[in-house]
Structure formats: C-alpha cells, structure tokens
Structure 1
C-alpha cells in the first residue's frame, strides 16, 4: 500500500502486492533482502520502485499547474503499465488465459467505497476476508483472481485458519457480496457466486439463570473499580437486550424517563427499549459520565474474573 499525503489529507493506494510481514522492513519501507529466505524479495523492491516513481511524478506534474491529483488519478497511475505487444511468431504458441485484472486491488477499493454506508466494524470484517484471501494465495501457491477465486477458500478457512462454522459462513457471504457487485460491473468473474455457500448450524445460545445474574449483581466490587465498570456494562446489555456495540455507545441523550431511544451501530435502525428497574441505576452512571466504555475483548477478560468471583461455574456442553 502506498500512503500518499498532501494538503493535510492521507490517501491509500493499493498496489496489489503481498509479502509476509516478517519479510518487511518497516523503517526502510522495503522488503528485506538479507538471508537465504529473503533472496526473492529484491524483485518486490524493484516492482515497488516503479509505482513509487510514477506517483511522485504525478504529484509533481499536478503541483506544477497548481492542482492536486484526485484519489482516482493516483490509483490509475499506480496500476501496472501494460507491456507493448510482441510480434506474433510465424507459428503462434498457445498461451494460457491471463489472470483476471487486479482482483485484490478491486476488492480493497470496493471495501473503501462502502465507508459512507457501512459501520467501521463491518468494513473491518470485509478487510479480514480480504486478508484471508491473500493468505490463501500464499499458502496454496496459485494466483487468486476473478477466474480462480473461491477454489479451496472454505477448506483454507477450516484447516489453515481454524475458523468455526459460523465464521466460514460469514467469510463466504462477504465474498459472494463482492463478486455479485463485480459481475454487475463487468468484471470477468468465472464462478457463480450463488453456488458459494456453507451449511450453517445454528449456534448454541448460552444463558445465565436469574440466580446467576443476581449473584453477579450482588458482588461487592467497591475495591475493584475496573471490574465494577465491566459488570455495569454487561448488566446493561442483560437488562436491555442491546448489542455490546450499542451499550458502549450509550450517551445521556439516548436515555429518556422510562425508555432508551437508540440508533443501532450495526443496522442503523432506531429502536425504543423499555427500561427495567434494575437498569436505571446503571444508566444513571451513563448520564453522570462515570461509566467508561471498553473494548469487547477487554470486557470479555473481565467477565471471566467476574464469573469466578460470583461462582458461576456450572458445567456446560458446547459443540464446535
């Protein structure tokens, strides 16, 4: 990725090349070339040199006439230059069909185009799927493009990435969404996106009993404010049914006398939620500004400690 910054704005231009992170020199911004395993990285540096020089020349040419290049112009400049056709031999030798044009670049650009209509978390999941496809190309040793995409993707997610059933389903859904858009916009997609699927088994829903919720609520956490903050966030979710992303985004203006009125982070739908009596003192902490939002992963770590303190330890079967 080329990061182009001017006039206080930063633009990302994807060049369609991937490399293992351990082979990349962050300080010098180039591929490592020392050592036996890095012997082929010199070609990557040579490949990156050309778009770097073309991007710099594009910027200089625009500044010379008092303008700035647009993001679309920068992306066009960074695209590989088409080689001049060679004269056909007297007896042409059949060659394999070329790979589809710029699959990874097109996917990345499509994701960025969704920024105005999708939440940051949704964009993050699409970038994760793109990263899985890059990993597939590196692990399997073939070019992933519009002609080959989908081959072995589910198997790669299961065996190499060790993803669970629901995660495989979601990654294939995102790929189908992109490929449907690509077909509608004239890209040479070979496979039928409708045939990409994964039989999804409904997840087991694990719940706490009323007694367990009460034990959690009754814990004396006056000496452990971090755990008390995490408990309050969790119990607001229990009492309101809101997703964690919506609990973390609660503000005083969302709280009315006996209800919450919230525009959800995931679906952008506005919902009205009645407030149970147990939730009111917790929501008062939101209004007072004394309840701190946490990252989901951090909250999960605190919940394990809270469950231990509340002796929530009933044996439970989970099928994976």
Structure 2
C-alpha cells in the first residue's frame, strides 16, 4: 500500500526552521521528497500535516504544500492505473521530468498555477471516483449540475478552468441560474454546494491553490413547506378502491409503504421477500449504509402481503410523476401556499397539495405522524437512522388540529 503525507524532520526541532517534506511510504519503506519550503517546528501541526493558523497567508501556504503533495499522489495513482510499480525510483524520475530538477518541487507550483485544467473534466472525474460511495440519486444530482455548468460555459463561450472560478464567476453563474434558467434560490444553492465540493476535491489533490470558492455564499431562500399526509388523507389513500387502475394501485401501495415505514425510495425499491424476518424489515440502507431493523405495522404488513414475490419496480422519476396523479385522483387537493425566492424576487403562489407530493413526502409523513401518534422521539430516530435530532425534526410538522388539541389539553 502506498501513501503520502507532509512532514518535517523530527531531529531538527532545535533549529530555527526546518524543511517540509512529502514523505512517500511504499511497501512499508519511506522516502522524503523536499518541497523546497521550510517552517519553524512550533508552527507545524504534525498530525494534520500542515502549518498552524487560519490567516490568509497560512491558508495559501498550506494550499501550495497540497499542490506539491498532490503531484506525487497523481504520479502514484497514474502508475497504479496502468499496472506500473510506483517505486521510489519511478516517482523520482517522473518528478525530475516535471520539474527539471533533482527531487525538489517548488517549480511544480508555478507549473500548476499556469495550467488550464478543465473544471468540467475534473467535475466528471469526481463523479466517477465517488460513484461507489454516493447514492444513485446523489450522482444524478451531480450530473445535473455538470450539465448546468456546461450550458453556462457554452452560453458564455468560455473554458471553465480551475483558476476561472473566482468571485466574478460566482456572481455571473448565479445570474445565469436565477435569470436565464429561472431556478429558485434553493435550487441554485444546491448547484453552488456541488461546485464547492469539487473545488475542495481539486484543492485536496493539489491541483489548484484557488480558494476563492470558499467565499461563494448561499442565497437567501425559504425552505419548501414540509408537505405530509394527515392521518385522514393517508387512510383515504390506503382504503381507495383502485382495482380498475392497476398502475395507480401499485404506486399507492409503494407510497403508503413509504408513509408507514419512513423508508426512502432507494430503500423500499430494493425490498425482497428475504428482507422480511420475524415481522421486521431487515435491510442495509442505500444512502447511509446503516443496517435497519424496522418493525412492521398494520399498513406495511398489509402492503407487503400483497406482493409475495417482491414489490413492483418504479424509477424515482416515474414514481414522483405518478404519485401526483394518485393524489389528484384521490382528492388530496387542499390549497397550499408556497413561498420561494428567485434571486431577490419573492414569489408566492397557491397550488393543490397533490402537485407537491413526492417520494420524500412519505418519509415526512412517517416522522410527523409517528410523533402525533405518541412515538418517543428516540425510538423514531432508530427507525429513520438520523444521526441527530436537528436533522430529524426538519421532517416534522405539527398539524393544525394537533396544535389545537395540545393547547386545549394544556390550557383548557
């Protein structure tokens, strides 16, 4: 196994300054490559492998060190990909070829700074290398952001390089998303978050020292109303006679299952008969990888009994399309006020409730109704696998009738 880290000489701590090295470990052996930079030992965090401090100068200094370290990482990774042994000799030879020096690397910084690495190519690379650790839905969102970046670059007739992503890009990209693509601020923020993730990826790999992306501020927005089904609405769906609408009946069953288990679409889509053990659903969640033992109830038990050979399959896109149709068919049409921002413009509109239904509505319904029905929050947290209560409570919304009931109970 090969690895790199930034270190200083432990036997030089009595000196005023000591050289910073990239220590390359391969097959338990170690070799140090000088970065050409030095530092006072008391200003060095050996555990983190960086200079201590948060000033602009220190941040930039650490970024330069990461660029140098990242060059060696890339040499090693490229060698492994083509089946070469990433030996000390190979790394040193490749470094000489890049810097035209012995084993010192300061010139590599200048070389990287002047490069015009394509940010779109790096974005696509990030999608590929993280595809195994991210859910299908998350990867789909990243691909969507990549398409928006491509559209922006095409519209502006520019090449998006790592150095191009500065505050001027930020303001113009936000303008493009809000004015030309007419995105709400919440959606724009999602694009900005993914851009920042990939720029952090580039910084960690030592491909850039551009840290302007850290100043990309999220826009003011109002979170979408936490839509959920009331107990009466859930009962209407559960009892609806859809015998003449087999497609809609399958969507209803999947939706009710989500509402009464709290499972995400990605999780109830993989349920097989063998996942049912002792009146529990036992599965590893797709998004977090957590093992979940979910006790069945009268609703989920009935739904699962209808499909002894496994639940029907439906993509999330189709599910979200059909569940709105289901809500309209069953009269889930209460008028809902929706408020959102587009740039500085505040937009208010009333829409029928069925138009806001999605697979995530099921999870919100489960959280809200579980609390309404008296389930202790610490037990609910076990079922939803949320790591903290703050995140869990974002899914909860107290119904008006429940508020009235609690007020009367408390005050009479």
TM-score between the two structures when normalised by the length of structure 1: 0.65
Aligned residues: 228
Distance in 2, Cα, partners of 1:135 & 1:71: 32
Gaps of 5+ in 2: 1-79, 84-112, 341-412
Unaligned runs of 5+ in 1: 1-69, 74-96
Higher share in strand: 2
Moved over 3 A (4+): 70-73
2:249 maps to 1:233: no
Q: What is the root-mean-square deviation of aligned Cα atoms in Å?
A: 2.4
Which structure has the greater CA radius of gyration?
2
Are 1:262 and 1:271, in contact at CA under 8 Å, matched by a contact in 2? yes
Judging changes above 3 Å, is the alpha-carbon distance between structure 1 residues 300 and 124 closer, same or farther for their aligned structure 2 residues? closer
Corresponding residue to 1:125 among 141, 149, 163 = 141
Equivalent residues in 2 for 1:87-236, closer than 5 Å = 100-149=116-165, 151=169, 152-199=172-219, 200-236=221-257
Change (3 A) 1:206 1:71: same
SS at match of 1:298: helix
CA distance in 2, matches of 1:164, 1:271: 35
Q: Which moved more, 1:175-184 or 1:256-265?
A: 256-265
**Structure ranking higher in helix proportion:** 2
**Could you say which residue in structure 2 is the equivalent of 1:270?**
291
Report the Cα distance in structure 1 between the residues aligned to 2:205 and 2:310, rounded to whole angstroms: 50
3-state SS in 2 of match to 1:318: strand
- 1:309/1:122 CA distance change after superposition, 3 Å: closer
C-alpha distance in 2 between matches for 1:164 and 1:289: 42
Assess, with a 3 A threshold, how the Cα gap between structure 1 residues 217 and 125 changes in structure 2: closer, same or farther: same
CA contact (8 A) 1:173 1:197 kept: no
On the 8 A contact 2:272/2:310 being kept in 1, the answer is no
How far is 1:229 from its partner?
0.6
For 1:160 and 1:192, locate their aligned partners in 2 and report how far apart those are by CA, in whole Å: 24
TM-score normalised to structure 2 length: 0.51
Higher relative contact order (CA 8 A, sep 6+): 2
For 2:325, the equivalent position in structure 1 comes to 305
Structure-2 change in CA distance of 1:262 and 1:165 (3 Å): farther
